[in-house]
């Protein structure tokens, strides 16, 4: 079975050439900054984030490149670029680009980063240079001038080029933005002519293309007396992609373990997560059920999720780009029925609220001491051992037991989610913490999926 990088088109590929890189115009300001390079990387590049834009974009000519603002340094690039198109070749070409750069400390994504500098490669059938040209880019020696370059690859989901050839175009145009030039070697990605196959960035000094002037000679001479060593230059620019054995850390900071709420409770779940390189994603589990509402950027929270009456245990799962995956300690809380009028002077929940946190066992809550139930021995916290002499409660016609709970008006009866849905490590914590993390899934755990998904929708990112 062929890998995506070695995918072959059913018909012979057409010939093609990748245009000589363009020198930055005089209007291009120097924006030398250090951004997005992880502390563990030894690279000299301004940014190590590559955004492969398959979705189309309108570029504006401003005399300088700025991928964040869709601004280009070249008048020829001012255009509305059509989307690449859908199909399996999109995913295959993305994976092939990642394979091209696997040795280097870079981040490659097909979703626009929300912050920081990045190089954008526009993948589109809109060809602003001419037929037979596969791509073009600005040449930025040593990545010295432009922090957020824009490069172009003229490909689509329906063209006759394989995913590997498309990836070679994208990788070459991105490399131009860091000072790499064309070489006369078909097995190197920096060869300007489409030679098919699956080339790579070679770790050897190769002869530069003599058909165009050499612009980044000083950069090349750091690694070769004559010619260019593509691999050595990229190692200098980005550093080695060493394995990251260190997992993230993650903890649920709200709600508190053992906290009680009155039903129906609106609870904001807040998680703290960190990683030595960066957190890629945080997922929330309710009673072992993944809520399918990943959050990828801080703050890691799910706002105002409604929980019906019942007991719940939450865990959060954090992962980095390695990926290393870690599960938080569980946090368990209870949602109890509100008191009905007649049980107390006010008819409110013990703390006087209708949906806020309730006092824990042994606390006095918001009671003023008036209107205590008959017998006076109850602490007022639901779920206590029942030592109260307040038999008079039954006179109201309300039952606090399981019988008649369907008439409480809180909704959210028991829902057993399809299993097995317990997350990795669930139930492996010490059992003496009293959290009940090995309990059966609580009522409504699966039913929270849609609600939590909407809470986190604006911050989701496909990995």
Please spell the DSSP secondary structure of 27-56, one letter per residue: T--------S--TT-----S--EEEEE-S-
Beta carbons of 299 and 369 less than 8 angstroms apart: no
Overall CATH class of domain 249-335+416-426+434-459: mainly beta
- What pLDDT sits at residue 331? 98
Q: Which residues pair with 312 in a beta bridge?
A: 333
Q: How far apart are CA 361 and CA 247, in angstroms?
A: 36
- What pLDDT sits at residue 20? 65
- What pLDDT sits at residue 132? 87
Q: How far apart are CA 282 and CA 331, in angstroms?
A: 16
- What pLDDT sits at residue 70? 97
- What pLDDT sits at residue 351? 42
The residue extents of the domains of the chain are 4-238, 249-335+416-426+434-459
Determine the number of helices (DSSP H) and then strands (DSSP E) in the chain.
5, 20
HSE (CB half, 13 Å, CA atoms) of 39?
4
Q: How far apart are CA 375 and CA 225, in angstroms?
A: 95
Per-residue pLDDT in tens (0 to 9) along the chain, 463 residues: 444 444 444 567 776 767 667 666 655 554 433 333 343 344 678 889 999 999 999 999 999 999 999 999 999 999 999 999 999 999 999 999 999 999 998 999 999 999 889 999 999 999 999 888 999 999 988 887 788 999 999 999 999 999 999 999 999 999 999 999 999 999 999 999 988 888 999 999 999 988 888 889 888 888 998 899 999 999 888 888 877 788 999 999 999 999 999 998 999 999 999 988 778 899 999 999 999 999 988 899 999 999 999 999 999 999 987 789 999 999 999 999 987 655 444 434 334 444 444 333 344 444 344 444 444 443 433 344 444 444 444 444 444 444 443 343 333 333 333 333 333 333 333 333 433 333 333 444 554 544 454 444 444 433 3
Token output for 108: 């490659």
Q: How far apart are CA 178 and CA 190, in angstroms?
A: 12
Q: Which residue has the tokens 């914590």?
A: 429
Within 153-205, where are the H helices? 163-176
- What pLDDT sits at residue 17? 67
Task: Please tell me whether the peptide bond between 255 and the residue prior to it is cis, using omega within 30 degrees of 0.
Answer: yes
Sign of CA dihedral 127, 129, 133, 134: negative
Q: How far apart are CA 360 and CA 261, in angstroms?
A: 10
- What pLDDT sits at residue 37? 37
Please provide the distance, in angstroms rounded to a whole number, between the alpha carbons at the two ends of the chain.
25
Beta carbons of 238 and 103 less than 8 angstroms apart: no
- What pLDDT sits at residue 195? 83
Q: How far apart are CA 218 and CA 298, in angstroms?
A: 42
Q: Does the domain at residues 4-238 carry the CATH identifier 3.40.390?
A: yes
| Other CB atoms within 10 Å distance of the CB of residue 401 | 6
* pTM passes above 0.95: no
- What pLDDT sits at residue 460? 44
- What pLDDT sits at residue 65? 92
């Amino acid at each position: 079975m062929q890998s995506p990088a070695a995918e072959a088109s059913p018909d012979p590929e057409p010939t093609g050439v990748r245009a000589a890189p363009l020198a930055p115009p005089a209007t291009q300001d120097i924006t030398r900054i250090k951004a997005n390079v992880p502390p563990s990387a030894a690279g000299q590049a301004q940014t190590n984030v590559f955004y492969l834009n398959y979705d189309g974009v309108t570029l504006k000519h401003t005399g300088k490149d700025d991928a964040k603002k869709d601004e280009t340094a070249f008048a020829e690039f001012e255009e509305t670029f059509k989307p690449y198109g859908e199909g399996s070749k999109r995913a295959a070409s993305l994976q092939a680009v990642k394979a091209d750069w696997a040795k280097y400390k870079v981040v490659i994504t097909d979703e626009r980063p929300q912050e920081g500098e990045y190089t954008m490669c526009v993948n589109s059938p809109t060809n602003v240079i001419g037929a037979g040209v596969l791509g073009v880019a600005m040449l930025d020696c040593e990545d010295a001038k432009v922090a957020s370059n824009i490069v172009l690859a003229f490909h689509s989901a329906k063209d006759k080029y394989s995913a590997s050839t498309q990836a070679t175009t994208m990788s070459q145009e991105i490399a131009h933005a860091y000072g790499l030039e064309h070489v006369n070697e078909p097995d190197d990605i920096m060869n300007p002519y489409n030679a098919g196959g699956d080339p790579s960035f070679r770790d050897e000094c190769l002869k530069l293309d003599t058909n165009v002037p050499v612009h980044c000679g000083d950069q090349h001479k750091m690694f070769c007396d004559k010619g260019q060593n593509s691999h050595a230059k990229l190692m200098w620019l980005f550093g080695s992609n060493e394995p990251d054995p260190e997992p993230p850390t993650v903890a649920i900071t709200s709600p508190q373990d053992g906290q009680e709420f009155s039903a129906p409770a609106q609870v904001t779940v807040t998680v703290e997560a960190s990683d030595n390189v960066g957190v890629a994603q945080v997922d929330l589990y309710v009673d072992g059920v993944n809520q399918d509402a990943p959050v990828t950027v801080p703050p890691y929270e799910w706002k105002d999720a409604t929980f019906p009456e019942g007991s719940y245990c939450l865990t959060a799962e954090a992962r980095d780009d390695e990926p290393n995956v870690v599960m938080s300690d569980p946090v368990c809380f209870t949602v109890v029925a509100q008191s009905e009028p007649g049980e107390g002077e006010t008819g409110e929940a013990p703390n006087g609220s209708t949906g806020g946190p309730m006092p824990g066992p042994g606390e006095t809550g918001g009671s003023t001491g008036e209107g205590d139930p008959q017998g006076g021995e109850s602490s007022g916290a639901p779920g206590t051992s029942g030592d109260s002499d307040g038999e008079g409660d039954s006179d109201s016609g309300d039952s606090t037991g399981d019988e008649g709970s369907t008439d409480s008006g809180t909704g959210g009866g028991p829902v057993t989610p399809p299993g097995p849905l317990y997350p990795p490590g669930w139930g492996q914590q010490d059992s003496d913490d009293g959290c009940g993390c090995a309990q059966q899934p609580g009522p409504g755990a699966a039913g929270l999926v849609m609600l939590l998904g909407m809470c986190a929708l604006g911050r989701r990112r496909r990995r």
